[in-house]
Amino acid sequence: MKLTDLKPFTNEPFKDFTDPATTQSMLQALAEVRSQLGRTYNVYEGQNTFLSTNPANPSEVIGIHGASTEADAQTAVSTAQTASLTWSKTPVANRVQLLLRTAQLIRDRHFYFCAWLTLEVGKNYAEADADVGECIDFLEFYARQALHLDAATTPIQFPGERNLLRYVPLGPGAVIPPWNFPFAIMAGMTTAAIVTGNTVVLKPSPDAPTIAAKFVELLTEAGLPPGVVNLVQGGPEVGRAIVEHPQIRFIAFTGSKKVGLEIHERAAKVQPGQRFIKRTILELGGKDGIIVAADADIDSAVEGVAASAFGFNGQKCSACSRVIVEEPIYEAFLTKLTARVAAIQSGPPADNFYAGPVINPAAHKRVLDYIALGQTEGRLLTGGKAIDTKEHGYYIAPTVIADVAPTARLAQEEVFGPLLAVIRAKDFDDALTIANDTEYGLTGAIYSNSRTQLDRARNEFHVGNLYLNRKCTGAMVGAHPFGGFNLSGTDSKAGGPDYLTLFTQAKSVAEKISVASPQAEEQEQGLGL
């Protein structure tokens, strides 16, 4: 198989939920998934279990999962190591076909997987659709990128030699995805690893274990051999055991700065019997800012800020948590922003309310604590309280706090919830300084009608993903390779042209052609991914 055998990559189209037929398909999928709730996954006799529950209705059990032990982690790594011996030699075309078959299976069951996202992590219809669509995009994009990588050549052919450059797999690795994009990011990291010939120990978040279990079932259905992806479930203890294992060659992690830096530190320590330097592929948090310049279209900026800050209840690493507004339009912007956010309706994601719950009780308490802090650091404009429901879901009203100082905790610390800080800037220079004054550097945006200011932001706004006159969330695979600067991670650029190289190592082979054997050309073909 060659890259030219496939159609050019295009992003999966979004579903139109204003169409009654589309909404009916989603409702039917929710009914189907609800009939499957409470099932047991990978639980063995005598094993401890934990529950996955609906954050909108914590009494509703999504799935019962076996809690893996450190011994289970050791077994999973050994299984991955054994499977690596054959999977690494599987032709790249076979691995690509596996991704394409999996993508098609997801496409065929699009609403089914949307429904699992709605019930297990609280995504409304559009957010769930975007997650499933991005998952398909990752599989389709990485399939094509694997073929592109397999066709790599050296920049020149040295006279008198035949020069080859091949990207070979690293070996067994760990994939530790987050709960907030539990389908797209989990599947994207996993399939990037396996399409390049690696095997994986997959440890999903305890807040989204069922979706990961469903995806592993899907890989098996698509024809993935046993041992290539090994699912373990549980908390930090099993994660540490995997990260520190001397046969784990890489760790792909998306999550908080605190946990990511701990993984980076643990991975850096060479364990007894380890003969390589472990690679960490980290996408961490953000304190993402949007600059609203004095000449901006205020209505457009308000809409973009509200969508960036409160889409999926602010539970995105790319979410806007600071909006930096130039003084001449500060009060006018606040008036319109307050009205826009106050109009957001909260309710069950299964009923397609725009704002739903945060993920768990710990997140609920953390965000409320930050709201209390924020009211000592600024002026509450709207929200500021928990919302109780008969189901006792983890709801918090979308909250805006104005007049926050650039150095305040609310302007510096990642909250990961429906809470937005508004900061006043004297002028554009001041706004850029404030935007860059953070330990993070993931996403950012600017609203301005000045080409000079847009160009300055392009050069001086120090983030991995910058958006001009649009929201700072919603990165599209292929168009917006995603990953941040500073303590936002290793700028790994998921969905970009170089992402797969992070799961490989480049091997250069030079053969003197004056003594080349007749089999040289045939041997070349065996050196690819």
85-121 pLDDT tens trace: 999 999 999 999 999 999 999 999 999 999 999 999 9
Q: What is the CA radius of gyration of the chain?
A: 24
Q: Which of 226-235, 245-254, 293-302, 514-523 has the lowest mean pLDDT?
A: 514-523
* 439, 286 contact by CB (below 8 A): no
* 156, 232 contact by CB (below 8 A): no
- If you average pLDDT over residues 313-323, what whole number do you get? 98
Active site residue 472: no
192, 43, 60: which is closest to 121 by C-alpha?
Answer: 60
Residue type, 519: Q
Question: Which residue would you say has higher pLDDT here, 527 or 488?
Answer: 488
Q: Where are the chain's structural domains?
A: 69-284+489-507, 288-468
* 56, 351 contact by CB (below 8 A): no
Residue tagged 């700028």 (tokens): 491
Which residues, other chains included, contact 179 with Cβ-Cβ below 8 Å and sequence gap of 6+? 121, 204, 205, 206, 207, 208, 359
For the cut 90, the answer to whether the pLDDT of residue 214 exceeds it is: yes
At 525, the pLDDT band (50, 70, 90 cuts) reads very low
For the cut 70, the answer to whether the pLDDT of residue 310 exceeds it is: yes
> In a 10 Å sphere around its CB, with 0-12 CB exposed, 13-18 middle and 19+ buried, how is residue 116 labelled?
buried
Q: Which CATH number is associated with domain 288-468?
A: 3.40.309.10
* pLDDT tens-place string over residues 240-281: 999 999 999 999 999 999 999 999 999 999 999 999 999 999
Please give the share of the chain, as a percent, with pLDDT higher than 70.
97
The pTM (predicted TM-score) of the whole model is 0.95
For the cut 70, the answer to whether the pLDDT of residue 529 exceeds it is: no
Six token digits for residue 103? 């993508």
pLDDT score, position 392: 96
The reply to whether domains 69-284+489-507 and 288-468 share a CATH topology is no
pLDDT score, position 173: 98
Beta bridge partners of 75: none
pLDDT score, position 528: 54
412, 344, 356: which is closest to 383 by C-alpha?
Answer: 344
pLDDT score, position 510: 97
Torsion angles phi and psi, residue 528, rounded to 5: -80, -175
303, 282, 314: which is closest to 127 by C-alpha?
Answer: 314
Residue 404: CA count within 13 A, CB half-sphere:
30
Active-site pick, 283, 320, 414, 472: 283
pLDDT score, position 43: 86
How many other CB atoms sit within 10 Å of the CB of residue 412?
Answer: 18
Q: Where are the alpha helices (DSSP H) in 311-424?
A: 330-342, 361-377, 409-412
Output helix, strand, coil percentages for the chain, rounded to the nearest 5. 45, 20, 35
User: Which of the listed CATH numbers 3.40.50.300, 3.40.605.10, 1.20.1250.20, 3.30.420.10 matches domain 69-284+489-507?
Assistant: 3.40.605.10
For the cut 70, the answer to whether the pLDDT of residue 523 exceeds it is: no
292, 276, 371: which is closest to 330 by C-alpha?
Answer: 292
For the cut 70, the answer to whether the pLDDT of residue 389 exceeds it is: yes
Torsion angles phi and psi, residue 62, rounded to 5: -85, -45
Mapped onto helix, strand or coil, the DSSP state of residue 57 is strand
- If you average pLDDT over residues 461-482, what whole number do you get? 98
b/e map of 466-494 (b: 16 or more CB within 10 Å)?
bbeeebbbbbebbebbbbbbbbbbbbbbb
pLDDT score, position 3: 81
Active-site pick, 317, 326, 414, 472: 317
At 515, the pLDDT band (50, 70, 90 cuts) reads low
Average pLDDT, the chain: 96
Active site residue 317: yes
Residue type, 358: V
Mapped onto helix, strand or coil, the DSSP state of residue 106 is helix
- If you average pLDDT over residues 418-444, what whole number do you get? 98
* pLDDT tens-place string over residues 10-28: 999 999 999 999 999 999 9
pLDDT score, position 109: 98
Residue type, 458: R
* pLDDT tens-place string over residues 36-54: 999 999 888 778 999 999 9
pLDDT score, position 44: 82
> In a 10 Å sphere around its CB, with 0-12 CB exposed, 13-18 middle and 19+ buried, how is residue 391 labelled?
middle
Which residues, other chains included, contact 459 with Cβ-Cβ below 8 Å and sequence gap of 6+? none
For the cut 60, the answer to whether the pLDDT of residue 302 exceeds it is: yes
96, 110, 101, 97: which is closest to 25 by C-alpha?
Answer: 110
Helix H or strand E encompassing 79? helix 70-87
